Chains A and B, each alone.
Chain A
Amino acid sequence: MQYIEVNDLSFHYEEEPVLENISFKVNAGDFAMLTGENGAAKTTLLRNILGLLKPSKGSVSLANENIHGEKLVVGYIPQQVASFNAGFPSTVLELVQSGRYPRGKWFKKLDNEDREHVEKALQSVGMWNERNKKIGELSGGQKQRISIARVFAMDPDLFVLDEPTTGMDVNSREEFYKLLKHSSEFHNKGILMVTHDHEEIKRYANKHIELIRKENSPWRCFSMDSCKELSKHPSSFH
């Protein structure tokens, strides 16, 4: 089932084109990585997909429903979460619990199942013991980890992640990629992730969308040649 469809998308900042002729799909169960050099408008593309920016040409469609016929839940981690609203008066637990709200809990109390999800998410990023800390007291890496925990607690159908592993060490990154691969492979989650570590992720992702600079363009404009299917490696994470 198709979660994201980008069809001949172009995006211009005023007159200057920054993205042109972008087309790809992300389905349920896909782990797609989006790469490109610095300034390749990767974040701009994600923001177009999420509806935060409007394409100048072409179209983007996000599915309304997930594979079970329920409302599609999107989990988004923006770039540089380390600089997030650090003075916000919230404990780590409160913030990660807020990830459950879009799961039909805007007007309902969180139940045991929600609490289990939250605990599991915090355990998976090694932040359970820090749950009563104020978020402003955390280091940059810890803030990154609770942002990831918040999205995992949400249990979204589609993950849209903008360089989520910035500042993470190699082992933490490996664990994170395994968790994502497990989510896509065994729970049919769709994943679109902007990354610079494409060599590391190659063995987890099954799609590679690369933004490349357009030749003969007077502007610093990016496009893509194709959406490459990568060979699937068996998951080692259960």
Chain B
Amino acid sequence: MFFYGFMQRAFQASILISLIAPILGLFLILRRQSLMADTLSHVSLAGVALGLLLGIDPTLTNIFVVVIVAGLLEYLRKVYRTYSEISIAILMSGGMAVALVLMGLNDSGATLSITQFLFGSIVTISVQQVWMLLSLTILIIVLYGVFRKQMYTLTFDEETAYTAGLPTQVMSILFNVLTGVTIALIMPIVGALLVSAILILPAAISLRLSKSFNGVIFIGMGVAMIGMILGLIGSYYLGTPPGATITLIYIGIFSLTALLKKTM
């Protein structure tokens, strides 16, 4: 298995995703934006469909579309402050609708490609995608190291963060954009339908296991690494979609830790 180039790239990508997923996932959970990842992944499909229709690299159109929508999400979150999930409902269904319409306009074999993006594929990971993921991982880890205190304060309470002098709106938009770019890059591997599970579940599991902020992130990285690697191996031998296999392993770990916590 390890002699195949595509599997080597899949493992490299998995390790990189394991490092960034708990960081973004924790902030998404604490900012009550878990569903934002789902929204952006649906919108990503529209980005991919646009790329396929125009004959441009779908990764690039995907990033372009997701970055715009990530900014729009922050605007709608402010407009519908009390019912912020409205923005998610609008953009999730809108993204999916645009993707389906663009696919309908495309007469070539785009449907097959879209299916790959929907369910993910480890065979399609290119060297270029691994390099892009590596750059993104370095960027996110550096940003976390530099702005950890600001993000801690913003996430705990946005209003006290604002009165403490933080540019809360700019920070929120940049965080959304960074999440959007991450989703655009990992979606072809794990699939649009399960990308949010890959981001959210490691942090959700580690939230129950540590009482400190850094502890949650480090344990989350360990959980993500176990889940991603076991999921890839399982996906390879069983011929199952990688995103689904990884998600099931995460849910297994989640149930196991919940059970152990209860009996301890």
Contact = CB atoms under 8 A, between A and B. Distances in A.
Nearest to A105: B149
B80 interface: no
A105 B207 CA distance: 26
Contact of B211 (A89, A105, A154): A89
Contacts of A89: 26, 30, 207, 210-213, 215-216
B81 to A, nearest CB: 11
Nearest to A133: B211
Contacts of B156: 84-85, 88, 90, 95, 98
Interface in B135-159: 146, 149-150, 152-153, 155-157, 159
A98 B163 contact: no
A172 to B, nearest CB: 22
Interface string A93-104: 011001001100
A73 B160 CA distance: 12
B213 A76 contact: no
Q: How large is the interface on A (under 10, 10 to 19, 20 to 34, 35 or more residues)?
A: 20 to 34
Contacts of B150: 101, 106
DSSP majority for the A interface?
Answer: loop
Contacts of A94: 152, 212-213
Interface residues of B, number: 23
Nearest to A95: B156
Contact of B207 (A50, A84, A87, A107): A87
A95 to B, nearest CB: 7
A56 interface: no
A163 to B, nearest CB: 15
A106 B212 contact: no
B146 A107 contact: yes
Interface string A157-176: 00010000000000000000
B239 interface: no
Nearest to B147: A106
A209 B63 CA distance: 53
Nearest to B26: A89
Nearest to B165: A102
A33 B149 CA distance: 32
A78 interface: yes
Contacts of A87: 30, 207
B163 A74 contact: yes
A95 B153 CA distance: 9
Given A84-B156, A101-B153, A106-B149, 12 more contacts: A51-B163, A52-B159, A74-B165, A76-B159, A76-B160, A76-B164, A84-B157, A89-B212, A90-B152, A101-B164, A107-B146, A133-B211
17 contacts: A50-B162, A51-B162, A52-B159, A52-B163, A73-B164, A74-B163, A76-B164, A78-B159, A85-B155, A85-B157, A89-B30, A89-B207, A89-B211, A90-B156, A90-B212, A91-B212, A98-B152
Interface of B: 26, 30, 146, 149-150, 152-153, 155-157, 159-160, 162-165, 207, 210-213, 215-216
Interface of A: 50-52, 71, 73-74, 76, 78, 84-85, 87-91, 94-95, 98, 101-102, 105-107, 133-134, 154, 160
